[in-house]
Amino acid sequence: MKPLMMIISVFLLFFSCNSSQTPSTDPATDHIRINQLGFYPDAVKEFVVTGTGASSFRILDENGKSRYRGKLVDRGTWEASGEQVLTGDFTGFRTPGTYSVRIGKEMVSPSFEIRDDVHRAALDASIKSFYFQRASMEVEEQYGGVYARAAGHPDLGCPYHPSTGKQRGTLDSPGGWYDAGDYGKYVVNAAISAGQMLHLLELYPDAVADGQLNIPESGNGSGDLLDEIRYELDWLLTMQDSDGGVFHKLTARNFSGFIMPEAYDLERMVIGKGTAATLNFAAVMAQASRIVKEQDPAWAIDMLARAEKAWDWAVEHDEVPYRNPPDVRTGEYGDNLFSDDFYWAAAELYLTTGNNRYFKYLLENEEPYVHQLTNSWKFFIRNMGFHSLLANRKMLESSFRGELTRKHMKLAGEILARMDSIPYHVGIDYFEWGSNSDLLNQAMILCIAHHLSGDRQYLDGAVRDLDYILGKNATGYCFLTGFGAKQVMNPHHRPSGADGIEAPVPGFIVGGPNKDKQDRAEVEYGSDFPAKSFEDVEASYASNEVCLNWNAPAVFVMGYLEQAY
């Protein structure tokens, strides 16, 4: 293993983690659940405490001096965690500095900061995690520090699996991001993940500056977030067939063991071809074309032409589901309902082309305006269309624009009402696979509501959801690797498990509590309560895996908050 001090120095060099974030050794701190990074001076500031009969709290500075006093509010028992929950609010305290919460003589929270750009380091790391997921490319020491590694998976000459409809031939498909804790590359999840981050750039083109992330493209005159997304989009372009349809994934037949990318020795192949992958490809290509048209017109023209060709294929092949063939066991990302995929693609194509055939589709094929939990790659697709339409609402006729806005604000209001009813002051108390992405997607909805209205209550709601991710949750973990006082150290992530380094690759959002515990045969869970069904062990793919579509909404939310504050 690399020396611990070397690991710490890399965190400081590449991610500027807060100096106040040192692991706690006092078990009393585990009763105070708080955003372990900190708060913007003008933002809502709340925490949860359990296991106490106290009625008040203090905010202490670094010297132990009391700077603020407040009352604890009894929020009742949260059935999802089995806890009696008290909450504290110190929103009125705005003085920048490093602080902790003290309750009585025994309980003290991890230290946290109050300052502008308090989530900047976490934002940068959450984007940088995509760089660490790059296939077909060496991670050089100057960009990755101790996490430098050799290139893996050149993905040249990959044979077609019969499920593609091709009986012979090969495809060169290098680049792109590894999807999750495994080494597969999947079109549908790539599309929504790139799309959510592109949406940040549509709202705030300069949200991530050139040179901000220290990646190989830094200094090329283009923002680093767009450069990182382009690495994925260029791979996606290779997955389109000559007839316009798009292949589903590039993996082996089975998952590899916990080995480094360069040690991988399974045959990788192009697998499947279907309606969902084709429509998601069409949507993100049209979206990206619109966003980069001034900066790179040739690339934008190519992406848009590919998107329209994909749409035409999907119209002619509107019910081609993907299911894993009997000899394939890697991630399925299966779907057999395509109305939401058509909606997202039509929305992006209309906004980019202005062609009324796409707008006509939207008018004639209304989608339910809901936030459907779990599997965002499958169910958040319709929201992607809604959000892009709202970001470009001036292009919409007034009645359609007004109805879409009304429905979004109604959904956001329902989320806020739900938050008020849940003791932890978050809008979700149903925990399943990827529950952390559910919280972050919900926060994204609230950010869009703030963008539409300017109303502070929606921004407060997004902050509360982010607070949950960063420590104000029933497990006490900060769910972003490399950050917080109680850190996730053993994510289900092959490079982190195989590189011989004690600390995992930083910047990943892990899946979070999952009541279904699909890995219970391999993992012993310490709690049966849904909100506590999380284990920081490598084997826990059900609660502790990383995934592109869990990081992407974190990038949007933190990027939005950094701009809003």
Enter the tokens of residue 171: 């495809």
Distance CA 193, CA 127 (A): 11
Q: Which of 71, 40, 37 is nearest to 54 (CA)?
A: 71
Active site residue 340: no
Contact 95, 127 (CB under 8 A): no
**Active-site residue (options: 371, 425, 492, 493):** 492
Contact 132, 139 (CB under 8 A): yes
Measured N-to-C along each axis, helices 548-564 and 120-132 cross at an angle, to the nearest 10 degrees, of: 150
Helices (H), 422-479: 435-453, 456-469
**Active-site residue (options: 124, 155, 182, 217):** 182
Contact 241, 223 (CB under 8 A): no
Count Cα neighbours of 21 within 13 Å in the Cβ-side half-sphere.
28
H or E element in which residue 558 lies: helix 548-564
Contact 565, 40 (CB under 8 A): yes
Cα torsion through 51, 53, 54, 55, rounded to 10:
120
Q: How far is CA 55 from the centre of its chain?
A: 36
Enter the tokens of residue 332: 């399925």
**Active-site residue (options: 460, 536, 538, 562):** 536
Contact 211, 128 (CB under 8 A): no
Active site residue 536: yes
Active site residue 492: yes
Contact 6, 83 (CB under 8 A): no
- Give the type of residue at 134: R
Enter the tokens of residue 295: 């900066």
Distances (CA, A) of 7 to 14, 121, 144, 223, 555: 11, 16, 11, 27, 24
Q: Which of 205, 200, 180, 128 is nearest to 557 (CA)?
A: 200
Distance CA 423, CA 265 (A): 49
The dihedrals phi and psi of 392, each to the nearest 5 degrees, come to: -120, 35
3 state DSSP class of 291: helix
Let me know the angle formed at the C-alpha of 223 by 222 and 225, rounded to the nearest 5 degrees. Answer: 130
Active site residue 117: no
Cα torsion through 420, 421, 423, 426, rounded to 10:
-60
Distance CA 303, CA 295 (A): 14
**Which amino acids are annotated catalytic?**
182, 492, 536, 545
